[in-house]
Amino acid sequence: MDTSKCAVCGREEAKLLKCGRCLSRIYCSSHCQAQDWPTHKAECRRQNYILEVDLHPRFITNPRISRTLSCPATAKFSELHQVLQIAFGWASTHLYDFDVFEHSDVQGRENRLLGPEPIFKITDPDTLDGNFGFMPPSRDSFKVTLFKVLDNPETKGKTIHYNYDFGDGWEHVITCTGRTDATTHFVCLEGEGHGCAEDVGGCSGWENLLKAYDAQNPTSDQKDLMSWFETFASNKDPEGLRGEMKWRWDKERINADLRVLAEASGY
């Protein structure tokens, strides 16, 4: 289809309208759009979001740990949680939530206990331990779709954090960088860095683990730490993190696991 002409009458106009849902169908007027809708609605699907997700970008830099995902607009935040677990190699052993902020900062917080409060949280309601009056309002991650937040004029372009393991405090900064063709499942497009060790003790613990692998003559404590990661961690890696291994990540394996998730979930 010629995307410079109206899909109905073929007219070329200086200012053309786009279908607000799929962003791919072009019209010269609202009249033509209304005329086309009974036919177009059967194939009209919201475009996927391209989400760039960085784990503690202020602190984890060498290497960064990031993943870029193509995400169906109608997916629920509970599904995005499952996808992020796979993409970052987490073991799904802790609670999570999403914070939606008023600002558009992409560096993350200097201290997770300080800074601005989110407008609202998105989480599994079964994990909430009551509302004590000072917590931001919460929404059900099994009901809220991505487009309800990412296309909402009040929250579009705003910073979203995915928080996992409230003890270690893993903060993933989510940025929407564009749109792409609609799919029924999530796809990992790009990435960098080996996933973090579960229960390592947050950013400082991860840094200590990397230092242990970089040490020419590791101490007994460093040897114990490396042995723990290779043998006992929930997301252990028997090959460790020496040299280039800290940069290793497997896009093909992630996408294979995402396909299995999609089939099991029926979306």
| Euclidean distance between the first and the last CA atom of the chain, given in angstroms as a whole number | 29
Average pLDDT over residues 73-81: 98
pTM: 0.87
Q: Which residues, listed in sequence order, are joined to residue 152 by a DSSP beta bridge?
A: none
The pLDDT score that the predictor gives to residue 261 is 96
Q: What is the DSSP string of 142-160?
A: TT-BHHHHHS-TTTTT--E
E-strand stretches of the chain:
17-18, 26-27, 48-55, 66-71, 96-100, 120-123, 138-140, 160-164, 170-180, 187-192
Among the residue ranges 18-32, 52-66, 128-142, 165-179, the one predicted with the least confidence is 128-142
The pair phi, psi for residue 49, each rounded to 5°, is: -95, 145
Is the confidence at residue 16, as pLDDT, over 70? yes
pLDDT in tens, 211-261: 999 999 999 999 999 999 999 999 999 999 999 999 999 999 999 999 999
Alpha carbons 105 and 109: distance in angstroms, whole number: 9
What are the residues facing 191 on neighbouring strands?
67
Residues 92-105 have pLDDT tens digits of: 999 999 999 999 98
CA distance 186 to 178: 15
Instruction: Kindly tell me if the per-residue pLDDT of 197 is higher than 70.
Output: yes
Query: Percentage of the chain with pLDDT > 70?
Result: 94
pLDDT band of 135, cuts 50, 70, 90: confident
Give the whole-angstrom CA distance, residue 261 versus residue 263. Answer: 5
Provide the mean pLDDT of the chain.
Answer: 91
What pLDDT is stored for residue 34 in this prediction? 85
Cis amide leading into 137 (omega within 30): no
Rounded to whole angstroms, how far apart are CA atoms 8 and 6? 5
Spatial CA neighbour of 142 closest among 82, 72, 91: 82
